[in-house]
Amino acid sequence: MKTYLSVYLGSAVLAIIIIPIVIRVARQLNIVDTPDIRKVHSKPIPRIGGVAIFVSMMGLVIPVLLLPNIVGDSFRFIHSKIVVVLCAAGFIFFVGLVDDIRGLRVRTKLWAQLATAIIVCSAGIRIESIAITDWLILDFGWFSWPFTLFWIVGITNAINLSDGLDGLAAGISAVACGVIAILAICNNDVVMAVLMLALLGSLTGFLVFNFDPAKIFMGDSGSLFLGFTIASSSVLCATKTETVVGLALPILALGIPIFDTLFSILRRFIERRSLFTPDRSHFHHRLLALGLRQRQVVITAYFMTLLAVGLGMFMLITRDTQTVIVFVCILLLLVMAFNFVGSVRLREIIAGLRQKYTISNQKKQEIESFENIELYFQQAKIFDQWWQAVCFAADRMDFARSLLPLTNRDGTKRTLIWDNGHKNIRADKIVKMTVPIRDRRAGSSLELKVEVNINGSLESVGRRVALFTRLIHEHGVVSLSRSGIRSTCVAKGQLPSFPAAEVIEKRTFKVRFCKSL
């Protein structure tokens, strides 16, 4: 017990000593986080606090593991796995530090996390089985690889995403470290207990400077290091317990970052945005939108985390089905909290999924229609056949009207017109635009005026217009045979037959007016 207390206090004191030095160096090197629209701070703040967390933890862990006592003896018994975890976490810290200083693409960091997680799994640190009850044991077999990789990479990024307010990620991570340390002590895993207590001490010292108002941020070097270390350590601890509690308690401790990440991914999926796109709909952002101040938001998150963990401790004294019921009930409470603050709404999710499905079907139909229409453009050899193809495209793409003013060689003018036959279309239900078309005559161009039915959404209009203009661009008038310049609409059998409607007089020329299919 003295060793545990010494490690915790030693790493906390070391962090408090190192952080002022890190702040000074960060300011001199201009490694600061500048405010922007997504940030809640108002002035530049040093962002390499992860250096202090990493150094203060490793500075205590490495000497203690080498001592000739029970801790050192236990370390020598399983030293290979611990060394892999520490080295892998060190590499992730370095990746985060490079990102803090120079900036890295999100995909680069993700690939680095995945590669490092594979190394950890290769060392035998995998979730191979979980005993749900005495009679129900989940044996993952080969699936232990993807499951463990998903857990490590997922938790790493969940903690990284939660680092949005002063003291938020550090406080939640500290609770997670405490939970894993308790599990390790209960299972006589002294090495893991020392590892987590050292990290807990580092976070305690860091929070002295990081709690609102923060003097330093942990940056990606800190959040990625924390996430990877906690995730890998929880897996290593869970393999010792082989019960659902070994993984369930860390899940509850990290419940806010985990659910925040899952709901964030779901929102981006429904809204058809990149998974790497930042937003302001995270849990802490929603609490701020409700009128809470930074400190109140962070304290609320601390309270929820401690409440979830406190209730989760009942799993240590329950058995079998009761343990699962306790775990599921606490998860439901967390989901209800997210629903209350507006981070997730069941009705909005269902409506969003339906809309996404509808848009996906519309897009598929529009592409299929485009491919069908393109065949008719490819068959057009003379101008009248080309105009019939334009009319066919306008009809299939739900246009309201198409007009093509023409000037003959003798200077007289005429206008080709097509409409869908519907009258009294409201002006706010159509989009008007002009499509330039290269003419066969040098230096001249035509202007095709089109009116497009909105029909649900402007996004659909944009797709249909893009496909239509692509057809006009790839199959323009200049590609037609010169022998067909003076031809009239007499071609048969090659293109769909558009019913002849009325004939409109434009000065001295008669123009075919195609209404609809």
Stretches in the chain below the pLDDT threshold 50:
483-517
Residue range of the domain that includes 493:
381-514
Residue that the structure tokens 């045979």 belong to: 481
Query: Do 145 and 210 sit in the same domain of this protein?
Result: yes
The whole-angstrom separation of Cα 126 and Cα 149 is: 9
The whole-angstrom separation of Cα 50 and Cα 257 is: 19
pTM over 0.85: no
pLDDT, tens digit (0-9, with 9 covering 90-100), for 295-306: 999 999 999 999
Query: Do 278 and 196 sit in the same domain of this protein?
Result: yes
Question: What confidence score (pLDDT) does residue 215 get?
Answer: 93
Of 160, 187, 171, 329, give the one whose Cα is nearest residue 253.
Answer: 171
Query: Do 417 and 340 sit in the same domain of this protein?
Result: no
The whole-angstrom separation of Cα 49 and Cα 173 is: 15
Contact of 485 with 383, CB cutoff 8 Å? yes
Of 60, 51, 17, 105, give the one whose Cα is nearest residue 222.
Answer: 51
The DSSP call for residue 243 is: B
Query: Do 300 and 410 sit in the same domain of this protein?
Result: no
Q: Go through 318-351 and write b for each residue having 16 or more CB atoms within 10 A of its CB, e for each that does not.
A: eeeeebbebbeebbeebbebbeebebbeeeeeee
Contact of 147 with 239, CB cutoff 8 Å? no
Contact of 245 with 184, CB cutoff 8 Å? no
Structure tokens at 168: 């938020």
Structure tokens at 306: 């401690």
Query: Do 320 and 432 sit in the same domain of this protein?
Result: no
Q: Domain ends where: 335, 353, 371?
A: 353
Number of domains in the chain: 2
Residue 273 lies in a domain: yes
Query: Do 315 and 420 sit in the same domain of this protein?
Result: no
Contact of 514 with 408, CB cutoff 8 Å? no
Query: Do 255 and 111 sit in the same domain of this protein?
Result: yes
Give the gyration radius of the chain's Cα atoms: 33
Query: Do 478 and 436 sit in the same domain of this protein?
Result: yes
Residue 333 lies in a domain: yes
Structure tokens at 142: 């080969």
pLDDT, tens digit (0-9, with 9 covering 90-100), for 388-416: 999 999 999 989 889 999 887 777 888 89
Residue 369 lies in a domain: no
Helix, strand, coil % in the chain, rounded to nearest 5: 65, 10, 25
Query: Do 323 and 429 sit in the same domain of this protein?
Result: no
Residue 252 lies in a domain: yes
Residue 370 lies in a domain: no
Residue 11 lies in a domain: yes
Structure tokens at 212: 């609102």
Query: Do 340 and 438 sit in the same domain of this protein?
Result: no
Cα dihedral 275, 276, 282, 285, rounded to 10, equals -150
Cα dihedral 127, 128, 133, 134, rounded to 10, equals -140
Contact of 67 with 232, CB cutoff 8 Å? no
Question: What confidence score (pLDDT) does residue 440 get?
Answer: 67
Query: Do 408 and 336 sit in the same domain of this protein?
Result: no
Query: Do 397 and 339 sit in the same domain of this protein?
Result: no
Residue 392 lies in a domain: yes
Residue 373 lies in a domain: no
Cβ contacts of 311 within 8 Å, gap of 6 or more: 252, 326, 330, 333
